Structure 1
Amino acid sequence: MQIKTIKAYHVVQPFVDGPYRMSKGRVADAFDAVIIAMTSDSGLTGWGEMAPLGNFYSPAFPAGTRAGVVEIAPHLIGQDPRGLASIGRLMDTVFKGHPYIKSALDMACWDLAARAADVPLVTLLGGRESETAELYKVVTHGTVDEMAALARRIVKDGFHRLQVKVGGNVHDDIERVGAVAASVPKGTVIFCDANAGWTPYQARQFADATRAIDYTFEQPCTTIDENMSVRRSLDKPMVLDESVASLDDMLDIHRKGAADGLTLKISRLGGVTKTRQIRDLAVDLGFMITVEDTGGAEIDTSAMAHLSLSTPQERRLHAIAFHEWVTVRTASNMPPVTGSRMGIPDGPGLGIDVLPDLLGRPFFAVGS
């Protein structure tokens, strides 16, 4: 089997609930996605998607993705998409760095490989460990009253896991988290995610003032060493997200004992191939794992679901349903969500049925 054509689409995906707010005034109104359609000489089509969260969240930006795909895609024509390691080495050879640009191309190769084998992607990723994964919902940054009200609404909708955005003024965030914790039932799982917004000094201030609240601390500071300095005096679990950009980062976190869990973002790591590699080793090293991405709709959410459900259940933290965040549709047979749990679509590969008419015209195409 050989890759015959590659088409790339640009799809802006506005958020259902309006602007997504983080600390320090960081805000996004939509995911700005690149979607890849990769066809083989056997007539199959594989799909991939990548969408940064604005220009502020990761070292990735939408215009860079679009420009990079144009540079890399021609080198993949004629390659066997099932040779996933070889495809990855080729992309790294012809285009140094910028893993986020390669993510949707790698994802499309995995989808093609699984469709050619007539099995769901979860089978190629190690096998299905459970039928569904527990979802969490985000309490975005806002006033004390706004965040407490949103937390109550999420719990009323049947969700039991909250990611509460912090990382702003420390004393205000102490009040915010206290109000959120007081507004939800005991036993609600709370993650306090600063998105690397604090210095170690500020993070320790927050941790000391909130010792009575049961939560997991997520990415308080920027570097692994900064987070490690906070962890030394922390009496709560810590999860790192932005610090995990490569296999070397994961191994460094393990050597230093800097975290109990990791959030692996597919596009940050460069695609499904490297995410699966790091996920498998991290599981063997004893980490708790969340697999997600920086954004996207049905295509990317389906890849996240397949990776999540092939993660051992005892090592899986939770998942997120990005396709429910956005107002646009790109596919049918989307990842099924029942209550607070998400499964994977029926069918080979990613399982979804992408509807090209909803994507508009491709901004780039190569191949015959």
Structure 2
Amino acid sequence: MQIKSIKAYHVVQPFVDGPYRMSKGRQADAFDAVIVAITADSGLTGWGEMAPLGNFYSAAFPAGARAGVPEIAPHLIGHDPRGLASIGRLMDTVFKGHPYIKSALDMACWDLAARAADVPLVTMLGGRESDMAETYRVVTHGTLDQMAALAKRIIAEGCRRLQVKVGGNVHDDIERVTTVASAVPKGTVIFCDANAGWTPYQARQFADATRGIDYTFEQPCTTIEENMSVRRMLDKPMVLDESVTSLEEMLEIHRLGAADGLTLKISRLGGVTKTRQIRDVAVDLGFMITVEDTGGAEIDTAAMAHLSLSTPQERRLHAIAFHEWVTVRTAFNAPPVTGSHMGIPDGPGLGIDVDPSLLGKPFFEIG
């Protein structure tokens, strides 16, 4: 089997609940996605998707993805999409760095390879460990009343896990988390995610003032060393997200004992191939794992679900249903969400039946 053609689409996906706000005044109004279709000479097509969260979250930006895909795609024509490691090495050879640009292409090859084998992607990723993954939802920055109301609404809709955005003014964040924790039932799982918005000094202030609240600390500071300095005085679990950019960084986090858990984002790592590799090593090293991404709709959420459900259940933290965040559809179906749990669609590959008529005209096509 050989890659015959590649198409790339640009799809803006506005958020259902308005602007997404996080620390330092950063916000986005939509996911700005690149969706890739790779078709083989067999007639089968695989789909991939990636969407940076604005220009501020990761070392990635939407215009860069749109410019980069046409640089890489011509080199893939004629190659076997089932040779996933080989495809990855080829992309790294012809285009140095910029893993986020390669993510949708890599994802589409995985989807195509699984469709060719007539198995769901979860089977190729190690096998299904459970039927559903528990999901969390985000309480973004806002006034105390707005955050409390949002948290109550999320709980009323059946979700039991909250990620509360912090990382701004420490004293305001202490009030935010205290208010949210008081507004939800005892036993609600809370993650306080600073998105690397604090200095170690600020993170210690926050941790000391909130000792009476049960939560997991997520990425308080920028570097692994800064987070490690906070962890030394912390009496709560810590998860690192933005610090996990490669296998080498994950191994350094393990060497230092800098975290109990990791959030692996597919596009930040360069695609399903490297996410699966880092996930498997991290599981063997004893980390708790969340697999998600920087953004996207049905296609990307399906990839996240397959990776989540092939993660051992005792090592899985939670998942997130990004396709429920946005107002646009890109497929006839979606990963099924029941209450606070998400599964994977039926069918081979990602299981997603993409509707090309919803994507508009390709901005790039070769084959």
TM-score normalised by structure 1 residue count? 0.99
Which amino acid in structure 2 is aligned with residue 67 of structure 1? A
Cα distance in 1, alignment partners of residues 203 and 147 from structure 2: 20
Structure-2 residue corresponding to 1:234? 234
Matches within 5 A, 1:262-341: 262-341=262-341
1:79 corresponds to: 79
Shift of 1:279: 0.1
Deviation at 1:332, TM superposition (A): 1.5
In the alignment, what sits opposite 1:50?
A: 50
- Percentage identity across aligned positions? 88
**Structural mapping, 1:1-368, within 5 Å:** 1-367=1-367
- Give the SS at the match of 2:212: coil
Deviations 1:108-153 (A, max 9, x none): 0000000000000000000000000000000001111111111111
- TM-fit CA distance, 1:162: 0.1
Instruction: Note the alpha carbon deviations across 1:148-181, whole angstroms, 9 max, x for none.
Output: 1111111011110000000000000001100000
Aligned partners of 1:198, 1:107: CA distance in 2, in Å? Answer: 33
SS in 1 for 2:25: coil
What per-residue deviation string (whole Å, max 9, x for no partner) do you get for residues 26-50 of structure 1? 0100000000000000000000000
Residues 195-240 of structure 1, C-alpha deviations (whole Å, 9 max, x = no match): 0000000000000000000000000000000000000000000000
Match for 2:8: what amino acid? A
> How many residues are aligned here?
367
- Partner Cα distance (1:140, 1:176) in 2: 10
Say which SS state the counterpart of residue 23 (structure 2) adopts: coil
> Which segments of structure 1 move beyond 3 Å, counting only runs of 4 or more?
none
Aligned amino acid, residue 293 of structure 1: D
* Residue 360 (structure 1) shift: 0.2
Deviation (angstroms), 1:56: 0.4
Deviation (angstroms), 1:333? 2.2
**What is the rounded CA distance, in whole Å, between the counterparts of 2:334 and 2:352 in structure 1?**
6
**TM-score, reference length from structure 2:** 1.00
Counterpart amino acid of 2:339? G
Q: Which moved more, 1:252-261 or 1:140-149?
A: 140-149
SS in 2 for 1:69: helix
The residue identity in structure 1 corresponding to 2:286 is G
Specify the SS of the correspondent of 1:331.
coil
1:234-282: per-residue Cα shift (whole Å, max 9, x none)? 0000000000000000000000000000000000000000000000000
Distance 1:265 1:105 in 2: 15
Q: Secondary structure at the match of 1:80?
A: coil
Q: CA RMSD in A?
A: 0.4
Deviation at 1:24, TM superposition (A): 1.1
Query: For the residues of structure 1 that align with 2:313 and 2:366, how far apart are their CA atoms?
Result: 41
The whole-number CA distance in structure 2 between the counterparts of 1:146 and 1:225 is: 34
- Distance (whole Å) between structure 2 residues aligned to residue 33 and residue 24 of structure 1: 24
Residue type of the partner of 1:335? P
How far is the alpha carbon of 1:23 from its aligned partner?
Answer: 1.5
Query: What CA distance in whole angstroms lies between the structure 1 residues aligned with 2:89 and 2:158?
Result: 44
SS of 2:320 mapped into structure 1: coil
Q: Unaligned 5+ residue runs, structure 1?
A: none
Aligned partners of 1:238, 1:309: CA distance in 2, in Å? Answer: 22
Distance, in Å, in 2 between the alignment partners of 1:199 and 1:87 is: 40
- Give the match's secondary structure for 1:8: strand
